[in-house]
Structure 1
Amino acid sequence: MKKTKVVIASVLKPIDDTRMLEKFGLSLAETNKYDINIIGFESKNTNVHDNIHFTPLKSFSRLSFSRLLKPWHILSLYIKQKPQVIIASTHELLIVTFLYKILFGAKFLYDVQENYSKSIRSTNIYPRPIRAILATWIRLKEWCLRPAVDHYLLAESIYVSQLAFTKNKYTVLENKYAPQADEKPAYRIPEPDKINLVYTGTIADSNGVFEAISIAKQLYQLDSSVRLRIVGYCALKRDLLRLKEEIADCDFIELNGGDHLVPHNEIIEAIQKADYGFVLKKPNNGMNDDKVLTRLFEYTANKLPIILLNNPTWVEFCEQFNAAIVVDPNHINATELLSQMQPQNFYTIGDTNTSLWDSEKPKLVSLIDQLT
């Protein structure tokens, strides 16, 4: 039987991005009905998978002319590969994917991983004068191209109410944990003589990395067995420079990544070796209030106790498993926190299997089957 060609593409994600490869790509490939090609920037850590091919892009700066040209390069790849289904994983591919659909009639899915317009207005990644222009341009594209999009894939349920242009043709596919063949959910291998803390994911001030370091330092003053491992990539140079200064004289703090991407299996290994994980992402004017972060799924699926920012959405999520110690990073009582850190007190209720991708996979496969 001839397989349906599916392209999953992004400008800013690596070809082994967890959502594109481990969730979407592998879920579709294992049906043996689809020939998957993933387009993203190059990665040295990509493994070989049946029915999945990779088209790496050369790296470029986030603020560069080369970035503006990448969507058109990807359009040329579409034309060469001739997919019947395209999953565009960023707003930057909306126009070129629309053009390809007009020319060749492919099914067009837009994977909405962020409320991009709101995010640009709320963060300082771009210079202030161009934030409003970029945010308006993105929202204009999303609205104008709505008739061309066959279906929206939403990474957060809150986007249903935030993004009116997705109305009546969306499926929520949350970023739940998708263990690979050599990964065992809830497999714990902590060191008995250490208190290992972990911070994983994008390293940034906005994600609470410096609060995590401050808490670790305060705990270390009380108990020298405390260790902190920071695992992830830092996109902003100013944050990376500050990070290196903050940990320069701290031999109990280890950095894996920083100036380079870290393979997802190394992130999971760090989670499984840790005793507690930090989730301290800042509210950012309410931008993150209603999101269920990928880290929360990864930590709870692996039964890692969490030191958690007092965000009502996250607190409610963790309460179903008794998974967290809720803190105010600006007012830490280290002695009290240390006394609360007793592993036997966590994960005494609930079913952490609800944090696994298995609950989302059938929705994706069924949707693609229907569209094709």
Structure 2
Amino acid sequence: MSQFQTKRVPVIIASTLKPIMDVRAFGKLALSLGETNTYSLFIIGFSPKRPISIPGFRFFSSMSHFDSRLDRVMAQFRFLFRLLQVRPKLLICCTYELLPIASFLKPIIEYKLVYDVQENYVLNLGLNPNLLEKKSKKAGNLIQKAESVSGIDLFLFAEKCYAYEMPEKKPYLIFENKFAGELKEQKPIQLKSKSAIRFCITGTITPAFGTWDVVEWFREIVKTFPKAELIIAGHCPLISFHEKLEKAANETPNLSLQISPIPVDHDKLMTIFSSSDFALLPYQNHEAIRGKMPTKLFECAALGIPVLISPNPIWEGFLADFRGGFAIDFLNLSKATQQLETALAHTFFTSAPSENILWKTERTHFQQAIQDLLS
């Protein structure tokens, strides 16, 4: 650990299943703190390979086998060991399952404890179609118990809606998943005359996020637009759904898959974004989804990529200022082509998005919040 100056404040940012180079934990929180030259930063996260080395950061793997129960249990012991080894002054936990150990060791090591609430994990249980009610209730109780531990000094909310979904979590600050880069200079986009339209859906590939709805929707689209393409790319955690998608790809013209049972590198997904005419956000109208602002909305807005979204007043309001997308009903297959043609008649990005969609507008507030917490 000689790469760090001893006078710097040691900070651990830890998760279990999130990638070690996670776009939020590392790309936003860690890099923002690193800019201050005040902290020694230690990052713990999922990594199937030996973590790379970056000056100013130390990386530790929480686990390397995504579906291994034993590795997930061992991740707890690895976390405990790193806490005792580093003895941080600040610990940011990015998952609930690390909170019990974090709470237990807090009075011993004497650090400030921050919980970065990236998901409403209890509500998310309803998104898993394979989870039986009895198991769902048991899992929900375990999550609530873990999140109710003593000693959490500050909650960071990745979504505004968490303030009313989880009112017991106080004190809190809201830091949305805004885009970490800069706005791309963008001219108005017209796609009306284009026949070889490329669509993509990326991220977590599950039925609740509308992936299968898009497959059936696309099957209707190619009847009128035979040159259209659909790329489905990302992390597909359900084996049965993975197999279902592979069968669909074999049967559906111009449907290609780039899916994996483990998290996919974010840069790879961004490359797919950038080569597409439309990014698709066909999320279902679920309690765990409807109040959130998907990260992809910020990314597409900043990069000038039109989006087709499921009807949602929050998302539609966000896109309206710069005409960044269009709402369609992916479930209404009889009007699939008609709705797409209506979308194609629009001119997108008639004005530039506000810089408020960028993480840099949050960075100073986050840095100040951590400074205040440690003072």
Report if TM-score (shorter chain) is over 0.5.
Answer: yes
What pairs with 1:314-353 in structure 2 (closer than 5 Å)?
314-332=315-333, 333-342=335-344, 345-349=347-351, 351-353=353-355
Query: How many Å apart are 1:349 and its aligned residue?
Result: 3.8
- 2:66 and 2:262 map into 1 onto residues whose CA distance is 13
Query: How many Å apart are 1:186 and its aligned residue?
Result: 5.6
SS at match of 1:262: coil
Paired letter, 1:314: W
What's 1:134 paired with?
Answer: 139
Report how many aligned residue pairs link the two structures.
365
What's 1:153 paired with?
Answer: 156
Q: Is the 8 A contact 1:272 1:304 kept in 2?
A: yes
Unmatched tracts of structure 2, length 5 or more: none
What's 2:302 paired with?
Answer: 301
Q: Is the 8 A contact 2:113 2:154 kept in 1?
A: yes
Unmatched tracts of structure 1, length 5 or more: none
1:206 and 2:208 correspond: yes
Deviation sequence 1:144-164 (CA, Å, 0-9, x none): 42xx01111100111111112
Paired letter, 2:155: Y
- 1:71 and 1:190 map into 2 onto residues whose CA distance is 51
Query: How many Å apart are 1:43 and its aligned residue?
Result: 4.5
Q: Is the 8 A contact 1:109 1:152 kept in 2?
A: yes
Q: Is the 8 A contact 1:15 1:43 kept in 2?
A: no
Query: How many Å apart are 1:301 and its aligned residue?
Result: 1.5
Percent identity between the two aligned chains? 27
Aligned residues: CA RMSD? 2.5
What's 2:277 paired with?
Answer: 275
SS at match of 1:325: strand
Query: How many Å apart are 1:194 and its aligned residue?
Result: 3.0
Q: Is the 8 A contact 1:113 1:155 kept in 2?
A: yes
What's 2:234 paired with?
Answer: 232
Alignment match of 1:257 (pick from 256, 259, 280): 259
Query: How many Å apart are 1:304 and its aligned residue?
Result: 1.3
- 1:110 and 1:318 map into 2 onto residues whose CA distance is 30
Paired letter, 2:205: I
TM-score (norm 2): 0.89
1:80 and 2:85 correspond: yes
Change (3 A) 1:324 1:32: same
What's 1:290 paired with?
Answer: 291
TM-score (norm 1): 0.90
Alignment match of 1:194 (pick from 193, 196, 214): 196
Query: How many Å apart are 1:132 and its aligned residue?
Result: 0.9
What's 2:9 paired with?
Answer: 4
- 2:91 and 2:53 map into 1 onto residues whose CA distance is 21
1:164 and 2:171 correspond: no
Change (3 A) 1:361 1:45: farther
What's 2:113 paired with?
Answer: 108
What pairs with 1:24-43 in structure 2 (closer than 5 Å)?
24-43=29-48
Deviation sequence 1:73-125 (CA, Å, 0-9, x none): 21111111221111000110111111221111011000111111222255335
**60-69 or 268-277: which moved more?**
60-69
1:117 and 2:122 correspond: yes
Alignment match of 1:178 (pick from 171, 177, 180): 180
- 1:125 and 1:71 map into 2 onto residues whose CA distance is 26
- 1:212 and 1:185 map into 2 onto residues whose CA distance is 28
Q: Is the 8 A contact 2:32 2:367 kept in 1?
A: yes
SS at match of 1:18: coil
Q: Is the 8 A contact 1:6 1:85 kept in 2?
A: yes
After the TM superposition, list the runs of 4 or more consecutive aligned residues in structure 1 that deviate by more than 4 angstroms. 43-48, 186-193
- 1:164 and 1:195 map into 2 onto residues whose CA distance is 44
